[in-house]
Amino acid sequence: MSILVVGSVAFDTIATPFGRVESVLGGSASYFALAASYFSEVRVVAVVGDDFGAEHEQVLKAHGVDLRGIERAPGKTFRWGGHYADNVNDAQTDFTDLNVFENFRPRVPREYLDSEFLFLGNIHPALQAAVRAGLDNVRLTGGDTMNYWINRMRAELIETLKLMNVLLINDAEAKMLANETSLPRASRKVLTMGPQALVIKHGEYGATIFFRDGAFGVGSHPFRAPALPIEEVKDPTGAGDSFAGGFMGYIASQGKLNREVLKHALFYGGVMGSFAVERFGTERLQCLTRAEIDARFQLFRELTHLE
């Protein structure tokens, strides 16, 4: 089944201790779409400028990504520059040129209206809500957000959370959103705000999914997908969006929505995140095979398997 993703498409300039790349394809929608494309059909709603050429389109088209929802606006594509210090996963932003993204008003093409799965990438919560409002056939809405929206657009974000079935954020964001220092307490609080399930991404340590009591199955036990220790994180950019792509992509590829599907999806999210960071930008996500993906899924599974 198809997933619709709304988010950013950008040109990134990234420096890490392992090198530097300039103006490479990036943005939440690009990472998400590539990661999800190994599992499901993906439709993108985003905006680009007139510097977005056929060669950039081709990266996504080669993976069957539907680009009819990418608006081409006069001006330049969103550009972001950042660097990572030694052994640190937090990006230091060097510049943010919003360009055409500044006035982005997502428009969902008619051909996308039957989408059953939706991912609201990390954009203004009011825009996320607007996209969800126009879709009547959605069975599951996943969403992302960040500290900027949590701090500055709290009221709008609280409204948008009511529209999400699964929220995917990291430890610090969950604690900030709930204003709690304990992760289990933070997760319980977030689960009263709308989402039936909350995925907390722990970076190199994997991810945990918390369920509202009775949502997608019985009880409220959390579940954790551990990640393999990564040999060398070349570039952490897009790891979270790639995680979300693997997670949502796997779910959309399954007929049913239950805990076992969500648990497997959590593993596949970790798998795609772990691939993304092995090379710069979306490079690694462009050239994967499903066999490589399933082999790593198996590795992750064996990583914690007791006889």
Residues found near its own copies in the complex (CB under 8 A): 17, 86-87, 175, 181-185, 187, 202, 204-206, 208, 221-226, 228-233, 260, 263-264, 267, 299, 301-304, 306-307
CB of 85 to its own copies, least distance (A): 11
Instruction: Of 194, 197, 293, give the one whose Cα is nearest residue 242.
Output: 293
Whether 14 and 81 have beta carbons less than 8 Å apart is answered as: yes
CB of 199 to its own copies, least distance (A): 13
CB of 76 to its own copies, least distance (A): 36
In the beta sheet, which residues pair with residue 209? 199, 223
Instruction: Of 232, 245, 251, 252, give the one whose Cα is nearest residue 271.
Output: 245
CB of 200 to its own copies, least distance (A): 8
User: What are the phi and psi torsion angles at 67 (to 5°)?
Assistant: -105, 10
Tell me whether residue 113 or residue 299 sits nearer to its own copies (CB atom).
299
Tell me whether residue 132 or residue 175 sits nearer to its own copies (CB atom).
175
Tell me whether residue 32 or residue 300 sits nearer to its own copies (CB atom).
300
d(CA 220, CA 35): 29
Tell me whether residue 38 or residue 297 sits nearer to its own copies (CB atom).
297
CB of 231 to its own copies, least distance (A): 5
Whether 147 and 117 have beta carbons less than 8 Å apart is answered as: no
Helix or strand run (H / E) with residue 249: helix 239-253
CB of 64 to its own copies, least distance (A): 28
d(CA 11, CA 79): 5
d(CA 200, CA 223): 10
Tell me whether residue 213 or residue 260 sits nearer to its own copies (CB atom).
260
Tell me whether residue 223 or residue 283 sits nearer to its own copies (CB atom).
223
